[in-house]
Amino acid sequence: MSENRLTNILVPVFAVILGIIAGAIVMIVSGYDPIAGYSALLYGAFGDRYYIGETIRQVTPYILAGLAVAFAFRTGLFNIGVEGQLIVGWLAAVWVGVAFELPKVIHLPLAIFAAAAAGALWGFIPGFLKARFRVHEVIVTIMMNYIALYVSNEIIRSVLSDQGFKSEKIHPTASLRSEFLQSLTDYSTLHYGIIISLIAAVVMWFLLEKTTTGYELRAVGFNQHASHYAGMNVNRNIILSMVISGAFAGIAGAMEGLGTFENVSVKAGFTGVGFDGIAVALLGGNNAFGIILAAILFGALKVGALEMPSAADVPTELVDIVIALIIFFVASSYLIRLVLTRFKKEGK
């Protein structure tokens, strides 16, 4: 293993360790017992079969959201609109799940495809504006998040709602629920979506690393001028990158709509999964395998935090502080790399 690759692995590991240590210091300063807090967190994430199932269920959309952000990163784009793409994907999946009655072998793939198409469309708009008019994708995707939230809320109220705030439950033929997985995990909300998210990670890896299209997408991300000089269609690749990124995010929405909740409801605010996907991608080094590991960490933190108030009298907000600190240390990776480099020099 090369030194550079080893450093790339060690940086996020040290970022997590430093984040946990800093979180413990915050707990002590705030008058809480960090050992009791982290023990409750671990138990709430992995303490029994039910908690493990809930953690894996939470990991599912995190993997897909992380892939969506990472795919754009790897191609030189910053997709802040994963949250909005997830919301429209969720809406599209549930609409197909409610509106049609088809055999499961057709209905479920159709609902997931609808979610991917909706997310891809929501990614196409900023991609097109970036390619055609050089409008920065960060600005457009941020605005598209709010458009997605309020437009989907209005569609739910006026088209899909049966009670004024949420849709009907999807037909069983469109559901990702699994009695087998639920029975294995003491009837948690675990569903088949975890398999889909793992397949998506393999698809992203294969597309970027093993195909000509992936090479072109990465080349455009490294240097648009050189790519254009080499005969690549830069504008087409920018749009394609945002479309694929949006499709991953849309499928993340389908996991929530077809698996966890089996409906869609009016939202008072953002789900947060899309924004957490940015942190998952950063911690995972924009690598498909790294994203899976980062998603497991974030899923464990989010689910385990629910046990902290009752078991250790520690507020769940402290987990958000730990996550923020981990992101801070990942963003400060230059300092960690500098320390690791000095240790290597001293060891020689």
What pLDDT is attached to residue 92?
A: 98
Predicted pLDDT at 296? 96
**Two structure tokens written together for 53:** 């199932």
Q: How far apart are CA 121 and CA 103, in angstroms?
A: 27
Burial (0-12, 13-18, 19+ Cβ within 10 Å), 248? buried
Write down the mean pLDDT value for the chain: 92
Contact criterion met (CB below 8 Å) for 276 and 176: no
The pLDDT score that the predictor gives to residue 15 is 86
Tell me the CA distances in angstroms from 305 to 162, 255, 261, 314, 317, one per residue in order. Answer: 33, 22, 20, 9, 8
pLDDT tens-digit series, residues 203-248: 999 999 999 999 999 999 989 989 989 999 999 999 999 999 999 9
* CA distances (Å), origin 132, targets 37, 72, 137, 156: 51, 18, 12, 33
**What is the pLDDT, as a whole number, of residue 95?**
97
Residues 287, 66: contact at Cβ < 8 Å? no
**Residues 333, 348: Cα–Cα separation, whole Å:** 23
> What pLDDT is stored for residue 208 in this prediction?
96
Q: What is the dihedral of CA 135, 136, 141, 147, to 10 degrees?
A: -40
The neighbouring-strand residues paired with 167 are 161
Task: Return the pLDDT at 233.
Answer: 95
pLDDT for position 251: 98
Confidence at residue 329, expressed as pLDDT on a 0 to 100 scale: 83
* pLDDT attached to residue 346: 57
Which distant-in-sequence residues (6+ apart) come within 8 Å of 39 by Cβ? 311, 312
Query: Residue 55 in 3-state DSSP?
Result: helix
Residue 334 is predicted with a pLDDT of: 59
Q: Which residues of the chain have pLDDT under 70?
A: 1-4, 162-163, 334-348
